[in-house]
């Protein structure tokens, strides 16, 4: 399991939004989605 994917997932859960998680992590919303899919 990739720790970056897990961190992305946890940020989505905390923010309750893919868009907000992307802003917090300073990445695109598409990348957030891909990370969650790969878990």
The domain limits of the chain are 3-38
- Enter the pTM of the model: 0.89
pLDDT score recorded for residue 26: 98
**Distance of CA 17 to CAs 1, 25, 39, Å?**
22, 12, 17
Q: How many CB atoms lie within 10 A of CB 11?
A: 20
Give dist(CA 29, CA 34) in Å, integer. Answer: 9
* Structure token pair of residue 19: 């868009």
- pLDDT tens per residue across all 39 residues of the chain: 799 999 999 999 999 999 999 999 999 999 999 999 999
Cα R_g (the chain), whole angstroms: 8
């Amino acid at each position: 399991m990739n720790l970056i994917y897990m961190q992305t997932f946890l940020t989505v859960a905390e923010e309750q939004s893919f868009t907000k998680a992307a802003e917090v992590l300073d990445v695109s919303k598409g990348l957030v989605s891909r990370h969650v899919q790969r878990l």
